[in-house]
A and B are shown apart, each in its own frame.
Chain A
């Protein structure tokens, strides 16, 4: 089963939930964790894991063969990201704006564009017991997170056992790329007005994508029912609540695995895992 852990808002506890579940699963079976938060990868900090190898990930950029170019401007008009500027005597390429869509390459009537490469980031591979962990690290200034996320997800093809995806925050392309291949997504929400607002954005995104999801509340405070009311109103299953507690925050800040560091939280995560593995939301 492929399980994504996502949220609209950042800092709600995606990595806390993803690493705790990965640790729990890996105690009994081969488990793969992909840290898809490529702008801020941190899942590896929670494991005593050895770096096994790292690979460079590249994206396509157009290279103009000036001797064939007629400066017709078609490539510039089809580029949604303004990565090409066609002047009467030359074509300028802005690699940092290019999203490697291949549109210009496919449509150039003169065949004057060939495929070049730019670095977009690295994929690091680590092992800790039965856990295999891949993390993506986007180059500074690079914008093409989805391509790096796809490179990370390619490692899940031959995976044995369950796959956990620690998604990037937000509801934009990187988050969509992360959750679109999951069987079930766990949305981690926090008990704040901002948390509720961004959960709603993510719920609407998930529905547009026709993706199955459940909600876990993190940093739950007593006397705040806003998330419960929201989930009840929207017909969303609330799997569990992780309480708002200083010792939990401390454990997380120190890079400890919560159910290992605070064993009294173990039943909570076992319940979350059980709810995921037997979720009726998952389509057959």
Chain B
């Protein structure tokens, strides 16, 4: 499964980005292989309208199944639901690593 974390930069120490459609980018983790990569979202960050749906399209193209992010707008919410991407709130996580650790811990609890 591929997990995306809305992030302000490409690194485990990068602060997470509270925004979804207008996030700077997404830090992607492949749960099975542990491989990571970064998806830049600059074009949607500056979009006049429709940043939410366009960002969902970006994540669908990258095969993302779970997104850890702060605020999701109404259009993006519907789109994420239709794309069957699970939205998880990062709670009090400050960095990508915090958010990932929090997510992993919850997964272990529930498995």
Contacts and interface: CB of A to CB of B under 8 A. Distances in A.
B62 interface: no
B82 interface: yes
Contacts of B57: 76, 82, 85-86
A115 interface: no
Given A85-B57, A86-B57, A97-B75, A92 B82 contact: yes
Interface string B45-84: 0011111011011001000000000000001001100110
Interface string A79-110: 00111111110101010110000000000000
Counting contact residues on chain B (CB < 8 A from A), the size range is: 10 to 19
B50 A82 contact: yes
A174 to B, nearest CB: 14
20 contacts: A81-B49, A81-B50, A82-B49, A82-B51, A82-B54, A83-B53, A85-B56, A85-B57, A85-B82, A85-B83, A87-B60, A87-B83, A88-B60, A92-B53, A92-B78, A92-B79, A94-B50, A94-B75, A96-B75, A97-B50
Nearest to B75: A94
B10 to A, nearest CB: 24
Interface of B: 47-51, 53-54, 56-57, 60, 75, 78-79, 82-83
Nearest to B48: A81
B56 to A, nearest CB: 6
A96 B54 CA distance: 14
Nearest to B21: A82
A252 B1 CA distance: 64
A85 B47 CA distance: 15
A85 B79 contact: yes
Nearest to A90: B82
Contacts of B48: 81
A90 B54 CA distance: 15
Given A81-B49, A82-B49, 18 more contacts: A76-B57, A81-B50, A82-B51, A85-B57, A85-B60, A85-B79, A85-B83, A86-B57, A86-B60, A87-B60, A87-B83, A88-B60, A90-B82, A94-B53, A96-B75, A97-B50, A97-B53, A143-B49
Contacts of A76: 57
A78 to B, nearest CB: 13
Contacts of A83: 50, 53
Q: Which of B53, B79, B82, B83 has the most CB of A within 10 A?
A: B53
B49 A85 contact: no
Q: Which of A84, A85, A94, A97 has the most CB of B within 10 A?
A: A85
B82 A82 contact: no
A84 B82 CA distance: 13
Nearest to B83: A87
A143 B48 CA distance: 12
A159 to B, nearest CB: 34
Contacts of A96: 75
